[in-house]
């Protein structure tokens, strides 16, 4: 991989980590530059539109990782109820161990930018839909019709996002575990 590609990836990874931890508005370009160790001129070379463009790539990367993690977790168990419960438990364990949202949620940046950046709002919306669709596909595979699966996908995703926020605030994964225990009541198969 070329140095230019490595530098660009460094910026994206660093920005993604900082945006997830501190939010979009609290993260400055100088902080991203300092933490990435890359030269200032290369930031504008790779991201001529500045912070918003870098945030867009960072959000897309985080969204892809989150989606892939969910796909991987759901693929380990055939039964959708058990698979979804297991996926939620995996998130709870991450929060128990690490007290972080890394590769769990983009909600902070979504909430922070939905009124100030249409580009970032739309990117977050697309990621949210793609994550909902992961749950939908798992439910359809098990024989739930698309309309019901789409409804359940939205509800499950909304519960999980809320559970992540509660678990982080309470500094343990117990809120997510409470949600996981409700999945069998929600999904009647």
Contact (Cβ atoms closer than 8 angstroms) between residue 83 and residue 61: no
Residue 1, pLDDT above cutoff 60: no
The structural domain count of the chain equals 1
Confidence of residue 188 (pLDDT cuts 50, 70, 90): confident
Contact (Cβ atoms closer than 8 angstroms) between residue 149 and residue 140: yes
- For residue 24, the 8-state DSSP code is S
* Predicted confidence (pLDDT) per residue in 80-103, tens digit: 999 999 999 999 999 999 856 677
Torsion angle, CA of 76/81/82/88, rounded to 10 degrees?
80
Q: Which residues of 83-99 are buried (b: 16+ CB within 10 A; e: fewer)?
A: bbbbbbbbbbebbeeee
Q: In Å, how far are 122, 135, 183, 187 from 148, measured between CA atoms?
A: 25, 11, 14, 10
Mean pLDDT of 50-70: 95
* Predicted confidence (pLDDT) per residue in 163-173, tens digit: 999 999 999 99
- CATH number of the domain encompassing residue 126: 1.10.357.10
Contact (Cβ atoms closer than 8 angstroms) between residue 96 and residue 173: yes
Distance of CA 44 to the CA centre of its chain: 26
Q: Which residues of 6-44 are buried (b: 16+ CB within 10 A; e: fewer)?
A: ebbebbbebbbbbbbeeebeebebeebbebbebeeebbe
- For residue 78, the 8-state DSSP code is S
- For residue 1, the 8-state DSSP code is -
Nearest to 54 by CA among 22, 5, 83, 12: 12
Tokens linked to 173? 């994964």
* Predicted confidence (pLDDT) per residue in 111-156, tens digit: 999 999 999 999 999 999 999 999 999 999 999 999 999 999 999 9
**Which residues constitute the domain of residue 126?**
3-186
Nearest to 110 by CA among 20, 14, 12, 10: 20
């Amino acid at each position: 991989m070329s140095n230019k590609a490595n530098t660009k990836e460094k910026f994206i990874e660093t920005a993604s980590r900082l945006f997830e931890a501190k939010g979009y508005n609290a993260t400055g370009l100088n902080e991203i530059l300092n933490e990435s160790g890359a030269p200032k001129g290369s930031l504008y070379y790779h991201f001529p539109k500045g912070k918003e463009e870098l945030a867009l790539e960072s959000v897309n990367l985080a969204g892809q990782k989150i989606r892939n993690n969910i796909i991987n977790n759901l693929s380990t168990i055939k039964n959708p109820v058990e698979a979804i419960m297991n996926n939620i438990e995996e998130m709870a364990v991450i929060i128990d161990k690490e007290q972080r949202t890394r590769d769990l949620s983009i909600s902070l940046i979504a909430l922070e930018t939905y009124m100030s950046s249409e580009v970032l709002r739309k990117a977050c919306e697309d990621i949210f839909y793609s994550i909902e669709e992961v749950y939908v596909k798992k439910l359809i595979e098990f024989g739930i019709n698309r309309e019901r699966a789409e409804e359940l996908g939205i509800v499950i995703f909304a519960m999980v996002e809320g559970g992540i926020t509660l678990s982080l605030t309470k500094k343990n994964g117990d809120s997510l575990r409470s949600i996981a225990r409700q999945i069998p009541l929600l999904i009647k198969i």
